[in-house]
C-alpha cells in the first residue's frame, strides 16, 4: 500500500504533463498515452479519466495477484480523482464501472471472472477510500464511487441494493455537516442528548467494552495531552442494543470522559450513525458540526493540537 501512496503524485504528474513512459516503467500498468494535440491540463485530465482503464485486461484474473501493477494503477487512479474537476472524476469512475460490468472473457469456463474482478476492485475501493488509516480515505468520494457503480445498467439487483445502502450510509454525518442528535444514558442512569452537551469541541467515541482495538485506541486518545484540555470533552458511547452487557462491564476509560449507552441501540438500529466497526470517532465543534469523521490517530492529534492552540489564543 505504501508504495502506491508515495508514488501516485509522481505518476499522475507524468501522465498529465508529458508522455507516460515514466509511469509505464514505474509499475507496468498500461496507462493511456495522451495525444500531443491536447495541450491544456483540463483536456489532458479529461482524456486520462475517460481512457485510464482502456488498456487494462479485466478478463485476466492473474492481474489480481499482481499488486505492483493492478493495485498500484488503481491507487493512482483514486489519488487522481480529487485533483480533477468533479465532473471529470465522475466520467472516470463511470468509465471504470463500464469496464467492470462489461467484461468479455471469450471463454466458456470462466463465467465467474466478471464477478471475481468486481469483488476485487470493491475490496481495493474499501481499502483505499473506506479505511480510516488510509491517506486516501474519503467517505464522500467512496459514496460517489458506489453510487456510480449502482447506477450502471448492467449491475444486478443485489449489487445495486448493496452499493446504494453503503453509499447512503457513508453520506451520513460527513465533515462540514451537523452531526445527528441522539439520546444516551450515562453511568448514573441519567438521560441526556448530544446537543445538550456544552463544549468547545466534542470528541465522540463509539466503542464496545469487549473490543480490544477500542481499548487500544482509547489509550492512544487518552495519551494525547489535548484531550485533557478544557476545550475538549470526550463522550464515549456504546451504540448497540445489549445495554445490560455494557452495564456489567467495569469502565476502563479515563474518569474525565463521559460514558453512556444508546437506549435500545437506537444509534445503530435507527441508522442515526453508520458505524461500520468500532471504535468509530467523530470530532465535533461547538455547534456540533463534524470536523473529522473516523480520522487516523495522527490526523486526530494534529487537528486537536491546532484547535486547542487556537482556543488558547
Structure confidence by residue, pLDDT tens digits, 89-112: 999 999 999 999 998 766 655 668
Residue 153 inside a domain? The answer is yes
Measured between alpha carbons, how far is residue 176 from residues 115, 165, 277, 283 in Å? 36, 22, 22, 11
Give the mean pLDDT of the chain: 90
With 70 as the cut, is the pLDDT of residue 14 above it?
no
Contact present, 49 and 84 (Cβ < 8 Å): yes
Q: Which domain holds residue 117?
A: 2-170
Flag whether 234 is in a domain: yes
- 218 and 248 fall within a common domain: yes
| pTM for this predicted structure | 0.82
**Do residue 136 and residue 218 come from a single domain?**
no
Dist CA 15 CA 22 (whole Å): 8
What CA–CA distance (Å, rounded) separates 237 from 194?
10
Residues 71 and 153 in one domain: yes
pLDDT band with cut points at 50, 70 and 90 for residue 20: very low
Residues 137 and 161 reside in one and the same domain = yes
Per the structure, the count of domains in the chain is 2
Q: How high is the pLDDT of residue 106?
A: 63
Instruction: Determine the Cα–Cα distance for residues 132 and 294; give it in Å rounded to an integer.
Output: 6
pLDDT of amino acid 5: 38
Residue 15 has what pLDDT? 54
pLDDT confidence of residue 113: 85
Query: What average pLDDT score do residues 116-142 get?
Result: 94
Residue 158's pLDDT is: 95
Which of 90, 77, 153, 175 is CA-nearest to residue 121?
A: 77
Residue 199 lies in a domain: yes
| 161, 197: one domain | no
At residue 180, the 3 state secondary structure works out as coil
Looking at the structure, tell me whether residues 233 and 152 fall in a common domain: no
Q: Are residues 164 and 127 in the same domain?
A: yes
SS3 211: coil
Regarding whether 278 and 227 lie in a shared domain, the answer is yes
Same domain, 6 and 140: yes
Burial class of residue 139 (count of CB atoms within 10 Å of its CB; 0-12, 13-18, 19+): buried
Of 138, 170, 202, which closes a domain? 170
Strand partners, 281: 205
Of the residues 143, 170, 197, the one at which a domain ends: 170
Across 241-246, average pLDDT: 96
Question: Residue 103: what pLDDT?
Answer: 84
Task: Output the pLDDT for position 110.
Answer: 63
Residues 125, 222: one domain? no
Residue 221, in any domain of the structure: yes
> How confident is the model over 135-152, as a mean pLDDT?
95
Predicted local distance difference test score (pLDDT) of residue 78: 96
Report whether 85 contacts 42 (CB < 8 A). yes
| Helices (H), ranges, the chain | 2-17, 21-27, 41-51, 70-80, 86-100, 113-125, 139-151, 157-170, 212-222, 243-248, 266-269, 297-312
pLDDT of residue 9: 42
Q: Give backbone dihedrals phi and psi of 58, rounded to 5 degrees, phi first.
A: -70, -15
Is residue 278 within 8 Å of residue 210, measured between CB atoms?
no
**Same domain for 205 and 118:** no
Residue 41 counted as domain residue? yes
On whether residue 121 sits in a domain, the answer given is: yes
C-alpha cell at 259: 460514558
**Do 32 and 88 belong to one domain?**
yes
For the chain, how many residues are written?
313
End of a domain among 131, 149, 170? 170
- pLDDT for 174 beyond 70: yes
**Is residue 152 a part of any domain in this protein?**
yes
Q: How far apart are CA 226 and CA 300, in angstroms?
A: 10
The verdict on residue 70 lying in a domain is yes
- Tell me the C-alpha distance between 223 and 237, whole Å: 19
Provide the CATH number for the domain around residue 243. Answer: 3.40.30.10
Amino acid at each position: 500500500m505504501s508504495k502506491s501512496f508515495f508514488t501516485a503524485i509522481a505518476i499522475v504528474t507524468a501522465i498529465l504533463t508529458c508522455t507516460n513512459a515514466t509511469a509505464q516503467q514505474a509499475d507496468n500498468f498500461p496507462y493511456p498515452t495522451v495525444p500531443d494535440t491536447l495541450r491544456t491540463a483540463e483536456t489532458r485530465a479529461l482524456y486520462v479519466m475517460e481512457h485510464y482503464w482502456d488498456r487494462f485486461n479485466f478478463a485476466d484474473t492473474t492481474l489480481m495477484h499482481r499488486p505492483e501493477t493492478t493495485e498500484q494503477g488503481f491507487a493512482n487512479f483514486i489519488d487522481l480523482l480529487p485533483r480533477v474537476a468533479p465532473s471529470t472524476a465522475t466520467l472516470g469512475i463511470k468509465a471504470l464501472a463500464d469496464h467492470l460490468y462489461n467484461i468479455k472473457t471469450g471463454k466458456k469456463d470462466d463465467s465467474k471472472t466478471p464477478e471475481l474482478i468486481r469483488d476485487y476492485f470493491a475490496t481495493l475501493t474499501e481499502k483505499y477510500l473506506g479505511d480510516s488509516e488510509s491517506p486516501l480515505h474519503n467517505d464522500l468520494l467512496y459514496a460517489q464511487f458506489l453510487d456510480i457503480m449502482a447506477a450502471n445498467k448492467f449491475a444486478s439487483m443485489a449489487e445495486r441494493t448493496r452499493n446504494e445502502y453503503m453509499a447512503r450510509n457513508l453520506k451520513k454525518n460527513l465533515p462540514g455537516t451537523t452531526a445527528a442528535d441522539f439520546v444516551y444514558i450515562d453511568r448514573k442512569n441519567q438521560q441526556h442528548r448530544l446537543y445538550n452537551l456544552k463544549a468547545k469541541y466534542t470528541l465522540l467515541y463509539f466503542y464496545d467494552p469487549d473490543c480490544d482495538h477500542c481499548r487500544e485506541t482509547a489509550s492512544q486518545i487518552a495519551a494525547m495531552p489535548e484531550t485533557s484540555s478544557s476545550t475538549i470533552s470526550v463522550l464515549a458511547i456504546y451504540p448497540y442494543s445489549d445495554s445490560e452487557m455494557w452495564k456489567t462491564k467495569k469502565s476502563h476509560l479515563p474518569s474525565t470522559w463521559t460514558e453512556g449507552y444508546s437506549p435500545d441501540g437506537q444509534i445503530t438500529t435507527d441508522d442515526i450513525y453508520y458505524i461500520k466497526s468500532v471504535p468509530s470517532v467523530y470530532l465535533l465543534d461547538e455547534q456540533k458540526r463534524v470536523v473529522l469523521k473516523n480520522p487516523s490517530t495522527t490526523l486526530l492529534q494534529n487537528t486537536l493540537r491546532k484547535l486547542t492552540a487556537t482556543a488558547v489564543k
